[in-house]
Every structure is written in structure tokens, then in C-alpha cells.
Homo-oligomer: A and B are copies of this chain.
Amino acid sequence: MTRRHVMEFERPLFALEDKLDELRRLDTAENPELTAEIEALALELVRLRAATYEHLDPWARVQIARHPDRPKTEHYVGALFDDVVEVHGDRTFGDDEAIFAGFGTLAGGRRVAVLGHRKGVDTKSNIRRNFGSPHPEGYRKAMRVMRLADKFGLPLVTFLDTAGAYPGIEAEERGQALAIAESLSLLSGLRVPVICVGIGEGGSGGALAIGFGDRLIMLENAYYSVISPEMCSNILYKDPAQASTAAACLKLTAGELVELGIADEVIPEPTGGAHRDSVPVITAVGVAVERALADLDGIAPEGLVQTRYERLRAIGEYDS
């Protein structure tokens, strides 16, 4: 078995677990005093596990959101939709595999358009998908599907999981900023329900381009932030080591986003994160998406656009 991916904040816990396993492999008959020590450690382990996972700080959640084994857009699309048809291409330059774009049918029978950042599930696919960081053609592909969703009255479901739009030379030269801006404009005008689900990383404009609508559902350990804690730490703290503090200051966790009036709902994850047991999480997402769509049933297209605008309109804090 390959060594599991250990997150910084889990180190002490895993160290203790290893220690305990070691002792347990020894012969307690030969050293009876071990039994007591083992019991003590076992007790300590229970305490530590609780302490580690009960109150995860934002930085810990960011690490969980980035966990390589965390369920990806690929898993949600595969598990939540039947009759999936993926479509490709921006009709001008290329097909960006960092964005999934297609159509699927939810368990309840609703046919919907589906978009998502796609990180890949193994090294080979990670590379093909550019680790989920789209180029402009990815957003232009997404816009094609948005237009089809609008034309054919299909609700749009998006899965957010990107560290950000790719900051490369060609991405800039081919209009990363324009592609994102046009996507924001288009999303705001879609005459169909738009449900967004934050399943992992919500990296700034690269996430936002397919990341706002009529509902924002966040997984407990997913984050959504204007900037990565690391970059924020470099810029505002002049110190790369302050990522954890920055993560706390940025109010980027699911719970905080609900308090800020940006997210609508938080989907709990099993102790340690969705990667520990993904099935119930994915199932819960499906239920939440169908519930959100049901809430929006029967609202006229113009009503959806107007309500979405008012929703955006209400975001922002200032004195007047």
C-alpha cells in the first residue's frame, strides 16, 4: 500500500498512530508493563484525533480542499448523472481539458447542462487537465455550453475546483481576462437556473467565471477565495510563512461564506475530509443540487435573471 498523503496538521496524529502500532507489534507477554502504556497511548490518540479534527482551522481546511484523494468533478459527474454527453472545443482555438463541459441527467430525471473545473484523477490526467487551471479556451468552451443551456432551457450545474485560471504567457496572450469577463457577463444573463457547487478549491476569478448563480452550495472543507493564502501571505505579510494567518483573515471557508451571504448551504464532510469516505458526500451533493433546482422550479426566465442580479447587487459592505 502506498503511503497515504499526510497533511501538515495531521502529522502529530499520524506519528502517534504509528508509535501505537509499533508497540502493539511487541509481545506484551514478555513486557507486561507495555499494556498500560498502550492503553494510555490509545486514550491519548482518541483525545488527539478529536482535537485535530473537531475544530479545523481555515488553513487546515484549505489543505483538505487540496487533498489529492479528494473527490473531483470527474467523480461527481460520474456518480450523479446518467446519460452524460461531454462536448468539446471553443470553436475558435482549442479544447481545454481543464474544464468539463457537457450534459447529464440527474437521478430525479432532470436533464441539465454541466460544467466543472477538472483536475484529473491521476498524474497522467492531472497533466492533460493542467491540474484544473483553465486557459481562455476552457472558459470559451464553458460559454458555448451556457448558451446551449439558455437556448434549450437546461438548468446549469457547475462544480468548482481550481487553484485559479492558468497564469501563463499564452493564457494571457489569448485573453484570459476577456474570457473570464465574458463568462461573468454571460452567466449573469442566463435564462435558466444556475447552481454552483464548491467541491474543493475556489481559486479567485478562475473559479468565479463559472462560480456564481442562483445558489452556491459549499462542501464543509471547500474554500473560495479572492486570492490563495500563500500569495496573500507574500503580498500583505511580506512573509510566505503566514499562509495560515492569511487563510484565517480571508474568510474563505464554507461557513464564513454563508455568514457573508455569498454561499447558501454547507454540506458536511466525514471526519478528516471527503477523501476519507466520498460516497455520502457525493450523494449529499446530488440531493442538495436537486433540492436547489426544485426550489427554483416555476420561476420565469426573466425572474431568474432579475433575482440573480439582485443577489449580486446585495453583495458588498460599505457605509453610505
Q: Which residues of A contact B (CB under 8 A)?
A: 91-93, 136, 140, 174-175, 178
CA gap between A37 and B42 in the complex, in Å: 126
Residues of B within 8 A of A91 (CB): 175, 178
CA gap between A99 and B64 in the complex, in Å: 52
CA gap between A91 and B175 in the complex, in Å: 7
Residues of B within 8 A of A136 (CB): 92
Residues of B within 8 A of A140 (CB): 92
CA gap between A81 and B93 in the complex, in Å: 35
The residue in A92, A174, A178 that gathers the most chain B C-beta atoms within 10 A of its C-beta is A92
The 4 A-B pairs of least Cβ separation, nearest first, read A92-B92, A91-B178, A92-B175, A93-B174
Residues of B within 8 A of A93 (CB): 92-93, 174-175
Chain B nearest CB, measured from A192 CB (Å):
23
Can you name the residue of chain B whose Cβ is closest to the Cβ of A182? B91
Can you name the residue of chain B whose Cβ is closest to the Cβ of A136? B92
8 CB < 8 A contacts A-B: A92-B92, A92-B93, A92-B136, A92-B174, A92-B175, A93-B93, A93-B174, A93-B175
Chain B nearest CB, measured from A212 CB (Å):
22
CA gap between A174 and B137 in the complex, in Å: 12
Chain B nearest CB, measured from A141 CB (Å):
12
Residues of B within 8 A of A174 (CB): 92-93
Can you name the residue of chain B whose Cβ is closest to the Cβ of A90? B92
Can you name the residue of chain B whose Cβ is closest to the Cβ of A173? B93
Can you name the residue of chain B whose Cβ is closest to the Cβ of A137? B92
CA gap between A178 and B89 in the complex, in Å: 12
Can you name the residue of chain B whose Cβ is closest to the Cβ of A178? B91
Residues of B within 8 A of A178 (CB): 91-92
CA gap between A91 and B93 in the complex, in Å: 12
CA gap between A140 and B175 in the complex, in Å: 15
